[in-house]
Amino acid sequence: MDYTLEELETKARILRQDVIEATSEAGSGHPGGSLSSADLMAVLYFRVMKHDPADPQWAERDRFILSKGHAAPILYAALAESGYFPKNELLTLRKMDSNLQGHPVKGKVPGVEMSTGSLGQGLSMSCGIALAGKLDNKDYKTFCLLGDGELQSGQNWEAAMLAHQYHLNNLIAIVDRNRLQITGCTENAISLDPLPEKWKAFGWNVIVIDGHSMVQIVEAFRKAKEAEANPTVIIMNTVKGKGVSFMENNRDFHGKTCKIDEKNKAMKELECRTWPE
């Protein structure tokens, strides 16, 4: 499963296309924060994580928790591209009787480890999974993707303290630092900066990267997996809506999807662009 950086870039482009297709077909959903984490998801599912789409319950698998559950489209796209379910199911997103609920639901979709969507809870869940790994002497890692806006919720910091207390070096959190939440810039809502210093103060290893650089993402996970005593957070600076010019840094596309002409334009850009630019 060792994809080259070029192949990972292709995967990320496919995931972005899938996000646009699925959310446009659904007519609702959250494309912006899905696109900002597309490069990360490509690296996780096609390079870093130990997992087996043919055996979603494999006891030794690495676990992925999408704390920012509204980015469900990118998780579904990564799972479908990995082979957990047929890709055409992506077009059922958010529809009645679909397994692809608006936010991920454990038990409905193979590969979805936990029901999320209510922000601020995924890191606590991930701590529980990492603790279980320690109790059972298992080698799996737990990866938790956090939105930056949700870090305004105090439960994250309760979990951050616990992860340090219990030396959860098998836990790797990733912050999708796109600096936008629904009402605007995170820093104008409740400021998160200086974010790396906050995590450092909580006892975590902190790695800051460009979340759209494949080489930096891959390198960050290599370092994170070597953590000896403490949990690691990868703060990846990203652009909300990354990959589609008119969606980039546009908070309107947090919870709004493309109309048909916008979709055609977006798909065209995603086909033509080479990655990285």
Partner 1 sequence: MAGMKLAQRNYYGKALADLAEKDPNVVVLDADLADSTKTSEFRKAAPERFIQIGIAEQNMIGVASGLAASGKTVFASTFAVFASGRCWEQIRQAVAYPKLNVKIVATHCGISVGEDGASHQALEDIAIMRALPNMTVISPADAYEAYSATMAIAEFNGPVYMRMGRSESLTVTPDDIPFVIGKASVLREGDDVTLVGTGQMVAFCIEAAAALLEEGIDAEVVNMSTIKPLDTDTLRTSLQKTGCLVTAEEHSVIGGLGSAVAEFLAQEMPTPLEMIGTKDTFGESGTPSQLFERYKLTPADIAEAAKRVLERKKELKR
Question: Which listed residue (27, 55, 83, 161) binds partner 1 by CB under 8 A?
Answer: 161
Least distance to partner 1, CB of residue 80, Å: 21
Least distance to partner 1, CB of residue 172, Å: 14
Q: CA 133 to CA 142: how far, in whole Å?
A: 9
Residue 131 found at the interface with partner 1 (CB under 8 A): yes
Q: Can you give the C-alpha Rg of the chain in angstroms?
A: 17
Residue 86 found at the interface with partner 1 (CB under 8 A): no
Question: Which listed residue (10, 98, 115, 250) binds partner 1 by CB under 8 A?
Answer: 115
Residue 114 found at the interface with partner 1 (CB under 8 A): yes
Residue 75 found at the interface with partner 1 (CB under 8 A): no
- List Cβ neighbours of 104 (8 Å cut-off, separation of 6 or more): 66, 69, 72, 75, 76, 112, 114, 115, 116, 117
Residue 135 found at the interface with partner 1 (CB under 8 A): yes
Question: Dihedral of CA 89/60/122/43: which sign?
Answer: negative
Residue 189 found at the interface with partner 1 (CB under 8 A): no
Question: What DSSP character marks residue 210?
Answer: E
The helix (H) or strand (E) run that includes residue 160 is: helix 155-165
Q: CA 57 to CA 134: how far, in whole Å?
A: 18
- Please choose, from the candidates 77, 81, 103, 105, the residue with its C-alpha nearest in 3D space to the C-alpha of residue 91: 77
How do 184-185 and 180-181 pair as beta strands? antiparallel
Return the number of the residue (158 or 248) whose C-beta is nearest partner 1.
158
Least distance to partner 1, CB of residue 133, Å: 7
Least distance to partner 1, CB of residue 168, Å: 11
Q: Provide the β-strand partners of residue 65.
A: 144
Residue 62 found at the interface with partner 1 (CB under 8 A): no
Question: Which listed residue (6, 55, 95, 118) binds partner 1 by CB under 8 A?
Answer: 118
Return the number of the residue (162 or 233) whose C-beta is nearest partner 1.
162
Q: CA 52 to CA 84: how far, in whole Å?
A: 9
Question: Which listed residue (72, 90, 129, 172) binds partner 1 by CB under 8 A?
Answer: 129
Residue 127 found at the interface with partner 1 (CB under 8 A): yes
* Binding footprint of partner 1 on the chain (CB under 8 A): 105-107, 113-118, 121-133, 135-136, 154-155, 158-159, 161-162, 166
